[in-house]
A and B are shown apart, each in its own frame.
Chain A
Amino acid sequence: EVQLVESGGRLVKPGGSLRLSCATSGFTFSSYSMNWVRQTPGKGLEWVSSITSSGTYKYYADSLMGRFTISRDNSKNSLYLLLNSLRAEDTAVYYCARDNGNYFGHDFWGQGTLVTVSS
């Protein structure tokens, strides 16, 4: 069974940093591109970042202005997102999601981890 479990979300002050993790199981992690998607409470989905299976290529939403960094450790079957210079508008549930290897779509999602940025 494919599982993705996010962790690391918490209350953090503006300007602070945080690292989110996504532990995976049930599939060959090193064969799949992965993504982070966030959702502000009561609002829509926003794609944040993607990383290819080997970690060679990384992509980010323009709105982040270079503050976030995606990474992965294929030996640990884990995906990460480092969030720097956090702002109130970064408050959201952060989901990790797997890309299907045969077509374009995020076929498995975690339950999300809540990041709250507030003083």
Chain B
Amino acid sequence: EIVLTQSPGTLSLSPGERATLSCRASQSLSDIYLAWYQQKPGQPPRLLIYATSSRATGIPDRFSGSGSGTHFTLTISRLEPEDFAVYYCQQFGSSLLTFGGGTTVEIK
């Protein structure tokens, strides 16, 4: 099983600031196998990024993804009020899929 470790657990920032979220994999992943989701309370997750850096349909360009090997990053360039949520990474490098534990981006 590929374990994904997200950090930090919680990020306290103000609107307009830049958010950098980390996702580390226990083994190397091809970049096509890493996705990011956003989840707000009471809602299902929403796909933000696939293949490490490609934005899903309708996702604003303030969201960007990068990384390779075992270290991947989600960046929100300037936080909007609606961006305060929980973010998860997910890997598809194995037939046994796994999610990271999540990073909460909260208003400071």
Chain A residues within 8 Å of B, Cβ to Cβ: 35, 37, 44-47, 50, 59, 61-62, 95, 97, 100, 103-107, 109-112
Contacts and interface: CB of A to CB of B under 8 A. Distances in A.
A107 B35 CA distance: 10
Contacts of B19: none
Counting from the closest, the 7 A-B pairs by CB-CB distance are A105-B50, A109-B44, A104-B92, A47-B97, A105-B35, A45-B99, A44-B102
Interface string B80-108: 00000000101010011111111000000
Contacts of B61: none
B32 A45 contact: no
Given A44-B102, A45-B102, A107 B47 contact: yes
B51 interface: yes
A44 to B, nearest CB: 5
A44 B99 CA distance: 8
Interface in B46-61: 46-47, 50-51, 54, 56-57
Interface residues of B, number: 27
A59 B45 contact: no
A49 to B, nearest CB: 9
A62 B1 contact: yes
A59 B95 CA distance: 7
Contact of B44 (A46, A59, A111): A111
Contacts of A62: 1, 96
A35 B1 CA distance: 17
A59 B51 CA distance: 21
Given A104-B51, A109-B45, A112-B44, A47 B99 contact: yes
Interface in B22-81: 32-33, 35, 37, 39, 43-47, 50-51, 54, 56-57
Contact of B54 (A95, A103, A109): A103
Contacts of B95: 50, 59
Nearest to A104: B92
Contacts of A37: 45, 99
A92 B59 CA distance: 28
